[in-house]
A and B are shown apart, each in its own frame.
Chain A
Amino acid sequence: MAKEVSAQQTADAAEAIVAATNEKFGDAAVAEVANHTGGRRKNAYVFITVEADRWHDLAAWLAKSQGVDHCSMITGIHWPEKAEATWQIVAHLMRMGVCNPKRIEGRTHETEVDISNLSGANVPMEFEISMSLPATREPSVPSVADIWVGAEWNEKETWDLVGIDFEGHVGMRRVLLPHDTPTGYHPLQKQHRLRYHDFNEMYDDPQGFGRKPDDVGKVK
């Protein structure tokens, strides 16, 4: 009995999800099967490009009909040179595949199911979902914290560090930066540079208080 999910199972499951997604959303969410490029196995995963305003619909549909039960990470990227896609939001989701152990005596168990026979929504799957926003001072996408509570702190962090807001997120606040960080200061935006790049704002004024006037008009 194989104890690991085989590459073929992953590839089959990915294709099924891609076909279902493309049928359901058409042009609003374009799904494709992608493969990891490093390592020995080169597992398949599902890559979806979605329009930002359909993100919540897609997430709800994935959670409900494709068994996506785990939001691994939501993060943002700032591309100041791309006017059409200045803000990119990338979400990594997981379908864990349900396999609870048998209720037998003893504390460690073999897995209940024969993993080599897993199929359908029981096969674990990785998802990468990407969406872009054009240049704006107030980038914002729908929050998915109502679907997966685990997304809540990821979204807080993304707003804190990158400055992308999430509509419908309750209690957005600073998590990693100090609570009194000036409004509009989000260090992972590309206009903030490190001393390594011959700039030293990071070190001369680590709290960022003196930087407040410089930021006006540059960031949200």
Chain B
Amino acid sequence: MAEMWISMGPQHPMTHGLWTLKVKIDGETVVDTEPDLGYIHRGVEKICEARDFTQITTYCDRLCYASANTWSHAYIYAAEDLLGVEVPERAEYIRMVAVELQRIASHLMWLGAYCPDVGNLTGMVWCLREREMMMDLLQELGGSRLHYNFPRVGGVKRDLPIGFAMRCRAKLKLFLDRIQEYEAILDESTIFLIRTQGVGYAKAEDMVNHGVTGVNVRAAGHNYDVRWAHPYSIYDELDWTVAVERPSIKGSDCYDRYRVRVEEMRNSAMMVLEGLDKMPGGAETNHPSGDPAIIAKAPARAPEGQTGFHHFEDSRGESMFYLVGGGEGRGKHPYRVSIRSPMFITIPYAAKCMIGYKIADIPAIMGSFDPCIGETDR
């Protein structure tokens, strides 16, 4: 049969955002793919060159609409590396709580979007129900529902509100029970298993060489997590486990990538519970904004020649900011901001991963890598 190119996207249920996947097909079989990105390129890196270090946080929140908190934290750690700021321990605990809650919310958003991709609509409404709980908690911290703008250079915007720890514990305990419900409906759903198992095999060595990181590579059995390899924040003080799958000899399939995310949600919930218990000063204490217990003073300017970078475990992989000091206003702005987006690297790999499978498998494979176009296009 004659081969032909078809365009999936820019508006297609498979894409989870605005981009095009050009697929070369032979009958029903995919023989070549070519991703086409950049539809929502906003020039965040250029815009940041004209903003001071506090203002940039707001833009970093907008990088990913499903995982805003992890992105603003990724920037903040790089900015602290550039400016040489040491953060109070309590602030690090609060940040860890915020980031892990966001990671749960992001994975729930992924699972909620993935279930209808593979024909399970119930999964979507259940996941979004629990995501509401996480967003309520994050709203208590940051004040808004989607873009929290929560961390500050040197600490956090606000301390934990009164009663937050109690509500957080209650909701996470409920959530830990509900994870078992997802496993019950998905692991025993024939259609879910048929569409995810044995589809989209990816090997760990290939993934690492292609620059794929985070949950996707842990699904393939490669136990790599920035949180233990280059510990930042207070992850070295918590007792936690990395979620790693045991894939088959052919590599990890879509089902492994679903399993590892469910497992990671469970681990993140445990980390938040542990962090609330261990928090210095107690989780029920509430310091006023600007208190030295939650925010340290940070210089506003970075001289030329100073650089800072930080690898950060985002919900989708390893994100990184590279900042160069000495921009406009005698160093008040960064001279250059460079962003490593995990999905920008993963999408080309995911597209290669589809070669050899059927057209009907494309949504299952693409969805299992959790694409987010906001951070991809920046």
Contact = CB atoms under 8 A, between A and B. Distances in A.
B229 A39 contact: no
Interface stretch (A18-26, A103-111, A131-139, A210-218): A103-111
Contact of A72 (B81, B210, B243, B311): B311
A194 B47 contact: yes
Interface in A159-173: 161
A101 B244 contact: yes
A39 B335 contact: no
A153 B344 contact: yes
Interface string B241-276: 111111000000000000100010001000000000
B80 A39 contact: yes
Most buried by A among B210, B236, B308, B338: B338
Given A3-B239, A38-B84, A92-B322, 17 more contacts: A4-B228, A36-B81, A37-B81, A38-B77, A41-B231, A70-B213, A75-B322, A96-B222, A108-B244, A108-B263, A128-B307, A150-B210, A153-B211, A177-B38, A178-B38, A194-B47, A202-B43
Interface string A71-102: 11101010000000000001010101111110
A110 to B, nearest CB: 7
B336 interface: yes
- Main SS of chain A's interface residues? loop
Given A175-B37, A176-B377, A153 B87 contact: no
A143 interface: no
Given A37-B308, A40-B87, A178-B38, A5 B230 contact: yes
28 contacts: A3-B239, A3-B240, A38-B81, A39-B87, A40-B86, A40-B232, A69-B209, A70-B209, A75-B336, A77-B335, A92-B309, A100-B221, A100-B222, A101-B223, A103-B246, A108-B241, A108-B263, A108-B267, A110-B241, A128-B309, A149-B211, A150-B345, A152-B348, A153-B211, A174-B38, A176-B38, A178-B38, A187-B43
B318 interface: yes
B287 interface: no
B345 A41 contact: no
B67 to A, nearest CB: 19
Nearest to A110: B241
A73 B322 contact: yes
A157 B378 CA distance: 11
B340 interface: yes
B310 interface: yes
Interface residues of B, number: 73
A83 B77 CA distance: 32
A77 B336 contact: yes
B328 interface: yes
Interface of A: 3-5, 10, 36-41, 43, 69-73, 75, 77, 90, 92, 94, 96-101, 103-104, 107-112, 115, 124, 126, 128, 148-154, 157, 161, 174-178, 187-188, 192, 194, 196-197, 202
A197 B37 CA distance: 29
Contact of B83 (A38, A69, A103): A38
Contact of B37 (A10, A73, A176): A176
B81 A153 contact: no
A124 to B, nearest CB: 4
Interface in B32-58: 37-38, 41, 43, 45-47, 49-51
A136 to B, nearest CB: 19
B229 A92 contact: no
B311 A94 contact: yes
Contacts of A99: 223-224
A147 B242 CA distance: 29
A100 B211 contact: no
A92 B339 CA distance: 12
Contacts of B234: 40
B92 to A, nearest CB: 7
B191 interface: no
Interface string B184-227: 00000000000000000000100011111100000001111001
